[in-house]
Amino acid sequence: MMQKQAVSSFSAKEVTEWLMQSHSDGVYPCMAELLKYRYQPLRLPVPKASGNSAQSGQRLSKTRGRGMEFDEVRHYQAGDDVRAIDWRVTARTGQTHTKLFREEKERPVFLCVDFSNSMWFGSQLLLKSLQAAHVAAGIAWHTVQRGDRVGGLIYNNHQHIEIKPQARQHGALLLLKQLIALHPEMAPAESENNPDNSNTNLGNNQQDLGQQLRRLMKLCRPGADIVIISDFSELDSATIKLLQGLRKHHTVTAIMITDPFEERLPQNVFRDIDIYDGKEQHTLFLSNPDYHKKWQRQAIQWQSEREQGLRRAGVRVATVSAALPANMQWFHRGKH
DSSP 95-107: S-EEEEEEE----
**Domain map (residue ranges) of the chain:** 12-51+106-328, 60-103
Instruction: List, in order, residues 6 or more apart from 206 with CB less than 8 Å away.
Output: 157, 158
Angstrom distances, CA of residue 173 to CA of 21, 149, 187, 241, 296: 21, 12, 21, 33, 40
- Asked if 214 contacts 242 with a C-beta cutoff of 8 angstroms, the reply is yes
**One pLDDT digit (tens) per residue for the chain, 336 residues:** 454 444 467 888 999 999 999 999 999 999 999 999 999 999 886 544 444 444 444 444 444 444 555 667 888 888 888 888 999 999 999 999 998 876 556 789 999 999 998 899 888 899 999 999 999 999 999 999 999 999 999 999 889 999 999 999 999 999 999 999 999 654 344 444 454 455 555 444 567 899 999 999 999 988 899 999 999 999 999 999 999 999 999 999 999 999 988 877 777 766 777 776 666 777 777 777 787 788 788 888 888 899 999 999 999 999 999 999 999 998 644 444
Residue 150, beta-bridge partner list: 109, 166
| Interior angle at CA 114, CA 108 and CA 120, nearest 5 | 150
Are the C-beta atoms of residues 38 and 168 closer than 8 Å to each other? no
pTM: 0.75
Question: If one looks up domain 12-51+106-328 in CATH, what number appears?
Answer: 3.40.50.410
